[in-house]
Amino acid sequence: MSAPPTPVPSPSAYLDCAATTPMRPEAVEAMLPFLRDRFANPSGSHRFARDARRAVDEARDVVAEVVGCGPHEVVFTGCGTESDNAAVLGAVRRGSGVAVCSAIEHPAVSEPVALTGGRVVGVDRLGRVDLDELGATLAELRAGPGVAVVSVMAVNNEVGTINDLAAVSDVVHRLAPEALVHTDAVQAACWLDLREITPHVDLLSLSAHKFGGPKGVGVLVERGTPRVEPLIIGGGQERERRSGTHNTAGIAAAATALALVDAERDVDRVRIGALRDELVAGLRQRIDGLVETIPPAHKVAGSAHVCIPGVESEALLFLIDERGVSASAASACASGAMEPSHVLAALGIDRSLAAGALRLTLGHETTRAEVETAIEAIDAAVGQLRRHATGAAPGGAS
């Protein structure tokens, strides 16, 4: 019999909430009955199945209220990636024309767009889609092959930029009125009132584990008459828009977490925004040359993306992880060379500066103690890397 896995100690500072968030205790409690006694398949006809179905329907009502749509417009999926894929591929398969997206989309959107021969529109230095280029692209495509869907994310997952979806929708409706408007709102639920986004889009994607729910549950909001071809068929669930047995426990937990986020969003935005500002100010005070990638006015409260000259992200992440700080970077090691992320490249950030990108993302459970720990750890790690790069003897911090 194999030994149980060695437990990994909890981080002293978890600043990777854009990757995933800890589950809310209330969401965990919401799951438990459906993992124990209320385990029936919601598609059945007996009383136990009807009980499970009622739980799914109640969760759908909660999601619809928070998003600002009708319950019949909420489709439960397996994750945010599936929701994005379903929106882009489903729209192209049902409609006539190609997909268009911004240059800083998550691969869950950009890869389906590329797969179907779609077009990519640039962004400005703040990560906002270039509306003039979008308009020109749509005007060009109207002559052939047409536009099936335009996808622009509400909040960027790397740098936190907020896009003006009302303006995007206006351009699309004027120049390609046949096209659907989709937004990847996976990073938006914690920080933006979704009711203010939904009126401007036809399709909207969410992922439960980004707002305190469980992994393995996503949402695709499809407003009005269904106009996308389903990707998963054969079971008839979700009014034949997404077949497959419902994850009842996960769906109940996702709705619970989303309701909590909605109720606490205004307070969290103020508190977390202040902690984010303290984090960046503390790092800037200690680390020469540090650049905050996007100014606070243009991004969500939980995003503290920075670029640090003279270091490489991979080495920096290793050192701060040793000091108990969990974070991520916008760079990935490919073929032995550090390559800047497509987001930073689209922003026009210098390659050498982008090599030192650090994504620090805060959430509902982030504390001032974690921020202080992160400042100390990052400062020490940068100092160590810079001394090593210059061959200086060990000494003080940077």
Active-site residue set: 333
From the number of C-beta atoms within 10 Å of its C-beta (0-12, 13-18, 19+), residue 266 rates as exposed
Inter-residue contact 237 to 243 (CB < 8 Å) = yes
Q: Where are the beta strands (DSSP E) in 20-175?
A: 74-77, 98-102, 119-121, 147-151
> What per-residue string of b and e applies to 52-77 under the rule 16 or more CB within 10 Å gives b?
bbebbeebbebbbebbbbeeebbbbb
What does the chain come to in residues?
A: 398
What values do phi and psi take at 190, rounded to 5?
A: -70, -20
Inter-residue contact 294 to 126 (CB < 8 Å) = yes
Q: How many CA atoms lie within 13 A of 186 on its CB side?
A: 29
> What per-residue string of b and e applies to 22-38 under the rule 16 or more CB within 10 Å gives b?
ebbeebbebbebbeeeb
C-alpha–C-alpha distance, residues 127 and 105, integer Å: 10
Inter-residue contact 66 to 55 (CB < 8 Å) = no
The alpha-carbon radius of gyration of the chain (Å, integer) is 22
Find the farthest-apart pair of alpha carbons in the chain and give their distance in angstroms, rounded. 74
Six token digits for residue 82: 């599936």
What values do phi and psi take at 296, rounded to 5?
A: -55, -35
From the number of C-beta atoms within 10 Å of its C-beta (0-12, 13-18, 19+), residue 109 rates as buried
C-alpha–C-alpha distance, residues 381 and 288, integer Å: 13
Q: List CB contacts of 234: < 8 A, sequence separation 6 or more.
A: 243
Give CA separation, 360 vs 172, 173, 205, 376, in Å: 33, 36, 23, 14
